[in-house]
Amino acid sequence: MEDNSTDISSRLFTFKPDSYFDRTRRPVYAITYLLGFLVFYELGLILIRSQIITLSAKNVRVVSFAWIQNILVQYLNFTPAATWFITPLVVILILLALQITSKTKWKVYFKDFVPMTIECILLALPLIVLSLAINRTSAPQPENTSLANSMQAIICSSGDACDWLASGINSIENQSANLFARIITGIGAGIYEEFIFRLILICIFMMILQDLLNVKPISAIVISVMASAVLFSLHHHIFYMDGVIQIGESFSLVRFLFRTLAGIYFAAIFASRGFAIAAGTHIFYDIIAALTNVLIFPPSA
């Protein structure tokens, strides 16, 4: 069956039909590969949300997840409790719709999940290297600032986990619980930020630029990627929630630039490899960052 998908990935790249690179970018692969992460994130929220994550407050850490929750509550009249379980269904349903409209094969080879995981981990490593390089070349830290605390400024989730790591780290005494909370938050950020800023936002920008404004395809892609990357980075510092503009993480030019570059990098992965690999790369970057911060560069007391 020919790939007639209209998504950005299929427009830009053509792989051998039904090859590993062709089939793993299909929406059905995103559903099946990310399903375990979605379930793990939901179960993790049950364990840690009372300490770290709330639905409507400045303490919301996975903002993209909470945006979907607020839409369900305010416009579709779901109860706040129900949104914890309905929100992942929104992701699944949209991916199902994309799979149907793509007219591609539905068959999933579960043997592909191992190389997909390896691919995501390998794609995450350049971001780790970049974060280390940026940290090393940034302004010198005061002498009384440990390497661990310096690393915390850069080796952090490209998602929403950074600020509470700095401000709320002492709220979890147990190191293993702290690591678990970081991983859960990173998984949520990996899925829902890629969903909002890549899958949804880039597609919206592309439709506006190409269909309404008749912008040339290459220009539309560049503008869409850059705009989504800047907004992705910016939303960690300021975001709209519960009808008001809220302040998130304190602004840092280094973090802002790093996350903008990360947004461009994730967009390139999304364009070439599809949503499953983009979200998986984001997830594994966050997991590696969490492991690095807690096990290798723990914050000083």
Answer whether 208's CB lies under 8 Å from 219's CB.
no
Share of the chain above pLDDT 90, in %: 49
What residues form DSSP beta bridges with 245?
Answer: 240
Over residues 237-258, the pLDDT tens digits come to 888 877 788 887 888 888 899 9
> What's the pLDDT at 264?
96
* pLDDT value of residue 50: 52
pLDDT tens-digit map of 149-184: 334 444 445 444 444 344 444 444 466 667 888 899
Cα distance between residue 44 and residue 41, in whole Å: 5
- pLDDT value, residue 295: 74
Q: How many whole angstroms separate alpha carbon 101 and alpha carbon 283? A: 27
Look at 33-42, 47-56, 287-296 and tell me which has the smallest mean pLDDT: 47-56
For residue 240, what pLDDT is reported? 83
- Per residue in 58-117, pLDDT (tens digit) is 444 688 998 999 999 989 989 988 988 899 999 999 999 999 998 999 999 999 999 999
**DSSP letters for 199-261:** IIHHHHHHIIIIIIT---HHHHHHHHHHHHHHHHHHTTTEEEETTEEEE-SPP-HHHHHHHHH
CA 87, 46, 73, 69 torsion-angle sign: negative
Mean pLDDT of 39-64: 66
Round to the nearest angstrom and report the end-to-end CA distance of the chain: 59
HSE at residue 187, side-chain half, CA atoms within 13 A, is 18
Instruction: Let me know: does 197 contact 264? Beta carbons within 8 Å.
Output: no
pLDDT confidence of residue 293: 75
- pLDDT more than 70, % of the chain: 75
- Which has the higher per-residue pLDDT, 69 or 292? 69
- Rounded to two decimals, the pTM is 0.83
Give the pLDDT of residue 242. 75
The pLDDT of residue 142 is above 50? no
What pLDDT, on the 0 to 100 scale, is given for residue 251?
A: 86
Rg (CA), the chain: 19
Q: Label residue 297 by pLDDT band (50, 70, 90).
A: low
SS (H, E, C) 43-56: HHHHHHCCCCCCCC
Mean pLDDT of 197-215: 93
Quote the pLDDT of residue 53.
Answer: 42
Mean of the per-residue pLDDT values of the chain: 80
User: Is the model's pLDDT at 144 over the cut of 50?
Assistant: no
**Partners of 247 in beta bridges:** 238
Report the pLDDT value the prediction gives residue 133, as an integer from 0 to 100: 81
| Stronger pLDDT, 4 or 272, i.e. the higher one | 272
Of the ranges 46-60, 195-209, 263-277, which one carries the lowest mean pLDDT score? 46-60
pLDDT of residue 274: 93
